[in-house]
Amino acid sequence: MSLKNKAGSPPLRWPAEAVWEEVAPLLPGFTVEVLPQVDSSNSELMRRARDGQREPVLLVAEQQTAGRGRLGRAWNSGVQPGDLLMFSLGLPLERKDWSGLSLAVGLSLAESLHPEVRLKWPNDLWWQDRKLAGVLIEALDLRYAVIGVGLNISERVSQGASDMRTPPAWAREINPGWDAPAVLSRLALPLVRTVLRFQEQGFAPVRASWLARDAFTGRAVRLSDGTEGMAQGVDERGALLVHTSTGLKTIDSAEVSVRPMPG
């Protein structure tokens, strides 16, 4: 049996064994682990990978004390375990070009949740123009990927400084009966399939599906570097396309963020 739990039975009833049974045939050596508390599920898996532990694993964190989002922003857990679904998938990934992986991951999550969940380049899920979830991908030697997901489950009064610019959405707006374990059950297997497909084919085959959920195509946007223009989707490598006053600009830097223009 490949279920691990280092601190006894958690108060939430996680579908760890069911997820393991679904995923293990695709990822030999796969394990599922639930931690009541950790600084960051991504940080924990990156530490393990640096120490030589590079087997495929799904690590669920009921609470994080130092969760991280894109561009080094803080990502804090809710007041109670289960307010957020927080997990990281670590697995070997043999591909020279990882461009578009965060987009492919976001698409997989959106497709598992609802037809009207939209995608904000490069790694956020939006519900009715509000942030539902974020993705953080880290790599070790471009051979081991750690894919972190933070998804709001229930409404929270405070989201922390990292999310003040975008109002939050939560999964129970989509389905009031969902809790964190139920949403994990929906996401895990499709996510693994997506990453394995990406390893073989890259982002290009799912570009059309991503564009169908793009939250910004045809909207005026402002980039964090001050560039303004009209969003025109993404190219076959997942780079953002923005039509500016000086022509079409291709944005593929993870250090650039994009926001819709007001009005």
Share of the chain above pLDDT 90, in %: 76
Q: What is the mean pLDDT of the chain?
A: 89
**Per-residue model confidence as pLDDT tens digits over 84-137:** 999 999 999 999 999 999 999 999 999 999 999 999 999 999 999 999 999 999
Question: φ, ψ for residue 39 (rounded to 5)?
Answer: -65, -50
- Which residues are marked as active site? 70, 131, 259
Confidence of residue 257 (pLDDT cuts 50, 70, 90): confident
d(Cα 103, Cα 206) in Å, to the nearest integer? 9
Contact 93, 144 (CB under 8 A): yes
Strand partners, 89: 58, 147
Predicted confidence (pLDDT) per residue in 192-251, tens digit? 999 999 999 999 999 999 999 999 999 999 998 888 999 999 999 999 999 999 999 999
Can you give the pTM of this predicted structure? 0.90
CA dihedral 56, 82, 170, 76 (to 10 degrees): -80
User: pLDDT at residue 6 above 70?
Assistant: no
Write down how long the chain is.
263
CB-based contacts of 136, cutoff 8 Å, min separation 6: 42, 68, 69, 70, 75, 123, 147, 148, 150
The arithmetic mean of pLDDT across residues 178-204, rounded, is: 98
| Rounded Cα gap, residues 215 and 201, in angstroms | 24
What pLDDT was estimated at residue 163? 43
Q: Does residue 39 have a pLDDT over 60?
A: yes
CA dihedral 22, 144, 139, 57 (to 10 degrees): 30
Residue 135 pLDDT:
96
Nearest to 58 by CA among 178, 181, 169: 181
Q: Residues 238, 122: contact at Cβ < 8 Å?
A: yes
